[in-house]
Amino acid sequence: MKFMRVSLAIAVAGVVGAGAAQAQQITGAGATFPAPVYSAWGEAAKAAAGVELNYQAIGSGAGQTQILNRTVDFGASDAPMAPEKLESGKLLQFPAVMGAEVAIVNLPGVKPGELKLTGELLADIYLGKITKWNDARLVELNRGVALPASAIAPVYRADGSGTTFVWTAYLSAVSPDWKAAVGSNTSVKWPAGNGAKGNDGVAATVRQVKGAIGYVEFAFAAKNGLTYTQLRNKAGQFVQPSLETFSAAAGNGDWAAAKNYAVSLIDTQGEKSWPIVSATFIELPKDPKDAARSATVMKFFDWAYKDGASIATGLLYVPLPTAVQDAVRSSWRAEIKAPDGAAVYK
Amino acid sequence: MAAAGFYRPDGTEPNAVSQSATTGTASAQLGRSRGSLGDKLFAGAATTSGVLVLVLLGAIIVSLFIGAWPAFRAFGLAFVTTADWDPVQNVFGAAVSVYGTIITSVTALLLAVPLAFGIAFYLTEIAPPLVRRPIGTAIELLAAVPSIIYGMWGFFVIVPFMADYVQPHVIDAFDGVPVLQDVFAGPPFGTGLFTAALILAVMVIPFIAATMRDVFMTVPAVYKESAYGVGCTTWEVMRSVVFPYTRASVVGGVMLGLGRALGETMAVTFVIGNSNRISGNLFGSGNTIASLVALEFGESEAGSLKLSSLLALGFILFVISFIVLAISRLLLRQVKA
């Protein structure tokens, strides 16, 4: 009896162990901004979908290089890849999740969400045109908020980053001056201010320097209790950063018209839209060498769309609208082909 | 001669000596023939190790230059003098980071060399033997601290200290003084070229001090004792005996420190402010070659002009280090002549 029970236990353990060992492994590399949600999804998907994700947050540019060289199963980048590069690299691009950015400030006595700013003011601050916190234009917007006479110290990401790409895209969208003088990219020629490395570097610098202003992902600002600001959206309303305003912006994006899903969620229409929202993207080879691994990647993101939404919102990322998820699934079916021409995603 | 007599009490000694000498030669020959393959292998391995360094260095320079070629072709020699780093317009230049690299390294040396000299002087001439060892060990430990630790310490301790207590007062103090008021100007954010130089100074002091201490100890005691004998003070002994005797090695130690300062990445990134502008003053922010390359590398796509420009920066750093080395050699030659 005892022997049987023990052997049964061993057999059960063996089956469970084999099940865990059989989890299909996939590798991805790239963007740092969605890395927290990818790793949370990876953790949950191990048990729920039998997929083990090994994701390396090495930066969008490096991730693009890796997937073009096919050294990973998928690449991830914050800025959408150029259409001609996707074409020549035989890559399918689709969005994974969305996030938002906020401005953070260090003004003693000012609470999170209290200060009101507009895109034009942010652009002028980062251009070095507005240099004092008691500038007439700032005071006019913020009656009732005690603004000091101190200098404004703009802080930016010194390392190339998708965060900077989105931030400068926003400044370019709202300020013709910014667009003409600086433009948008993963790193730009900043006319004023100081640089810091990474989200944590920007946050730490803003926290240390009185009168500083910086920009980080909202998830980062919320988790670290940073003083974020309101922003005025395209409809002229001042909005607070929240999952609600982010989702509103995502819903107002023109997904159908966007090629390669490279939709712009910057400064979208709508009363409730938060103006700085962006999607982060996955690049997947259309001609996978190993169809099984490619199928596993799609299985993983299929699971993440279906069952990973609560994990994403828990980390203050915004899940994709259902219609977009369905469009991505049909793209998988239509465009990713095994060597024999059969669709990999079923 | 007396010694020879002592060793030959019975007259058999010469014979025994010659005998043992011949057996010695025989065994040596035996060993040589037995180990000739081993000798050749060892000589070969040693030669390979030596040549490998040259080959590696050459390979690095060549691959850097090949990678940098598109940038040099696009911008020409103006790459070195262009103070522009604009990834949006694809215009890149090295002037800002070269300027930052040289200013921070030279300022760091100006701060570090006198201090390091003081440490070495104290340890070799003044300190009681009891404290020599603990201080010496402490200096060696400082050299072993990883640069990221210096960076974080600089960012969380030195930067706020500079912003609150040093920069505002220095700026006020030099206000109205020609030249100096321009050198010590800029918004007091705590970061900047001077803070970076300060951190670099702390980082290179152990290298320079340890080298100086070691070479000061090589001065034969009889020289120093002679100087003391004719009535020299400790300082006069240091200045007229120890320092001239060790000058070449001291310069070598300083160059070692300069080499580390030129290439330092992490610690500098934390405190220099990372802006690609030449501010013209020491409290303003800037950038160094190593720091810029480290920051921008992750988001540079393969084959892009930006990546090529970063490699070109690496090549320029190589050239700067080479020039520094050449100058130090030249100085040493003049000293000897």
Q: Which residues of A touch B189 (CB under 8 A)?
A: 153, 194, 209
Report DSSP state, residue A228: B
Pairing outcome for strands A91-105 and A277-285: antiparallel
pLDDT value of residue A5: 55
Is the pLDDT at B190 greater than 90? The verdict is no
Q: Record the tokens describing residue A75, joined without a space.
A: 């690449």
Nearest to B191 among A69, A188, A194 (CB): A194
Spatial separation of the C-alpha atoms in residues A38 and A57, rounded to whole Å:
10
Q: Which residues of B touch A161 (CB under 8 A)?
A: 299
Identify the closest residue of chain A to B159 by CA–CA distance. Answer: A208
DSSP tally for chain B: helices H, then strands E: 17, 2
Choice among A224-228, B60-64, B244-248 with the minimum mean pLDDT? B244-248
The residues, any chain, with a CB within 8 Å of residue A190's CB and separated by 6 or more, are A126, A154, A156, A182, B275, B276
Q: Which residues of A touch B296 (CB under 8 A)?
A: 159-160, 187
Handedness of CA B42, B43, B44, B45 (dihedral sign): positive
Q: Which of B279, B299, B304, B308 is the mutation pick for testing A, counting most A CBs within 10 A? A: B299
- Other residues' Cβ atoms within 10 Å of the Cβ of residue A267: 20
- pLDDT confidence tier of residue A223, bands split at 50, 70 and 90: confident
* CB-based contact, B188 to chain A, within 8 Å: no
Is B296 within 8 Å of A160 when comparing Cβ atoms? yes
Pairing outcome for strands A24-30 and B85-86: unpaired
The residues spanned by each domain of chain A are 4-98+279-335, 101-261
* CATH for B76-336, options being 1.10.3720.10, 3.40.50.300, 1.10.357.10, 3.40.50.1380: 1.10.3720.10
| ipTM over cut 0.85 | no
The residues spanned by each domain of chain B are 76-336
For chain A, give the mean pLDDT: 88
Same fold flag, A4-98+279-335 and A101-261: yes
Q: Which residues of B touch A182 (CB under 8 A)?
A: 88
What's the number of CA atoms in the CB half-sphere (13 Å) around residue A239?
Answer: 30
User: Tell me: the pLDDT tens digits for B55-102?
Assistant: 999 999 999 999 999 999 999 989 999 888 998 888 999 999 999 999
Q: Which residues of A touch B274 (CB under 8 A)?
A: 158, 194-197
What pTM did the predictor assign?
Answer: 0.81
Spatial separation of the C-alpha atoms in residues B207 and B213, rounded to whole Å:
10
Q: 3-class secondary structure for A300-340?
A: HHHHHHHHCHHHHHHCCCECCCHHHHHHHHHHHHHHCECCC
Is the pLDDT at A144 greater than 60? The verdict is yes
User: Tell me: the pLDDT tens digits for B280-319?
Assistant: 888 888 999 999 999 888 778 777 899 999 999 999 999 9
Q: What is the CATH number of domain A4-98+279-335?
A: 3.40.190.10
Spatial separation of the C-alpha atoms in residues A203 and A223, rounded to whole Å:
11
Residues of A at the B interface, defined by Cβ within 8 angstroms: 58-62, 64-65, 68-69, 151, 153, 158-161, 182-190, 193-197, 201, 204-205, 208-209
Is A61 within 8 Å of B160 when comparing Cβ atoms? no
Spatial separation of the C-alpha atoms in residues A280 and A38, rounded to whole Å:
11
DSSP tally for chain A: helices H, then strands E: 14, 11
pLDDT value of residue B17: 43
Domain A101-261 has CATH 3.40.190.10: yes
pLDDT value of residue B29: 52
Q: Give the closest residue to A30 by CA, choosing from A93, A84, A83.
A: A93
Q: Give the closest residue to A114 by CA, choosing from A129, A104, A126, A128.
A: A104
Nearest to A189 among B85, B270, B300 (CB): B85
Q: Looking at the complex, report in whole angstroms how far the Cα of residue A104 sits from the nearest Cα belonging to chain B.
A: 17
Q: Which of A70, A197, A210 is the mutation pick for testing B, counting most B CBs within 10 A? A: A197
Spatial separation of the C-alpha atoms in residues A283 and A81, rounded to whole Å:
9
